[in-house]
Amino acid sequence: MKIKPQFGSRTRISHGGGRCAGRSTVTDMLARRGGFGWLGNLSAAESNRFWSEYSSFLAGLPVIGMACVIDRAGYVARGYLEKFAKDRWLLCRSAFDIVVERAVKIALRRGRRLKVRFESDVSYNTTVKGYFRTLKLEGLAFDQGRSDKYNPLKQEDFARILYDIEHKPKANPLMQIADSYVYAISRQRYDRHFDLYRHLRDAKRIANFALPQDWISEMGIKYYCFDPKPDTKRPG
């Protein structure tokens, strides 16, 4: 298998007679559909080799996997969907703020500034950029009493560390890499033995294993609206 990230263009993955470049995601690989339909023609040994090499490629990248994962069923069961029906973007903004704040905290401790990139969708590009501007100008909107335990950042911290945001098409290699990381982090909550996650975990590419233990409560993966015993469904 060959994986060639052509930055600024496309990511190309090939194996024998199969090749895919462009708008493919890890779910296409798992389902063996679209540009990855050829995976269904591989032998068990070849399929194992493909996933081993793809996992090694992702685990070898100099990144930290971060996410805010929200269980849809748990969100609905808690009545939030009905409660916030008039503000359907509230959940999206909460997830955005949580992930960006945790990334900003890491940047602060490492003396870096932060540029945010997200997958483009014409229906929400302007909305997401609005979240970014609000963080820089006003800071977090979470209830102070409930969020104190997470040591929330102040508005001036966001203004100093955040410097730009831009959207990228789904075919962008950074977006495809991020898609694989987010899927693995989400899937792990429903499937403790998901191999891709375990590769990233063992390589210390997941925030909860890449960061010092005393940072995890403030900068680790955020799982929201999950019951103590997660069910067996998978993120789609």
Q: Say yes or no: 205 and 169 in one domain.
A: yes
One domain, residues 50 and 164: no
Q: Which of 41, 59, 77 is the last residue of a domain?
A: 59
13 and 103 both lie in a single domain: no
pLDDT number for residue 18: 47
Residues 43 and 81 in one domain: no
* Structural domain contains residue 86: yes
Same domain, 124 and 43: no
102 burial via Cβ count (<10 Å: 0-12, 13-18, 19+): buried
- pLDDT, tens digit, 9 for 90 and up, residues 147-173: 677 789 999 999 999 999 999 998 899
In a domain, 230, yes or no: no
Last residue of one domain, picked from the residues 11, 37, 59: 59
Domain boundary, last residue among 10, 41, 59: 59
Report the chain (236 residues): mean pLDDT per 10 consecutive residues: 40 46 73 86 92 95 95 83 70 90 96 96 94 95 70 94 96 92 95 95 97 94 80 52
Q: What is the pLDDT of residues 187-229, one digit of tens each?
A: 999 999 999 999 999 999 999 999 999 999 999 999 988 887 6
106 occurs within a structural domain: yes
User: Residue 232 domain-assigned?
Assistant: no
- Provide the pLDDT for residue 90: 75
Range of the domain at 183: 68-224
Q: Is residue 234 part of a domain?
A: no
User: Hey, is 150 helix, strand or coil?
Assistant: helix
Residue 23 and residue 105 in one domain = no
**Residue 147 belongs to a domain:** yes
- Residues 118, 37, single domain; the answer is no
**What are the φ and ψ backbone dihedral angles of 191, each rounded to 5 degrees?**
-140, 95
pLDDT at 154: 93
Q: Are residues 32 and 113 in the same domain?
A: no
- One domain, residues 88 and 184: yes
pTM for the complete prediction? 0.83
Q: Tell me: do 78 and 26 sit in the same domain.
A: no
Residue 175 located in a structural domain: yes
Q: Domain for residue 231, yes or no?
A: no
Supply the DSSP symbol for 22. Answer: S
Per-residue pLDDT at 46: 93
Claim to verify: residue 185 and residue 153 sit in the same structural domain: yes
| Residues 121 and 45 grouped into a single domain | no
Alpha helices in the chain, H assignment, sequence order = 26-31, 44-59, 72-77, 80-83, 90-109, 125-138, 144-147, 155-161, 173-188, 195-202, 207-210, 216-219
Domain count of the chain? 2
Predicted pLDDT at 234:
53
Give the burial string for 161-187 (b: 16+ CB within 10 Å, else e).
bbeebebeeeebbebbbbbbbbbbbbb
Separation between Cα atoms, residue 114 and residue 109, nearest integer Å: 12
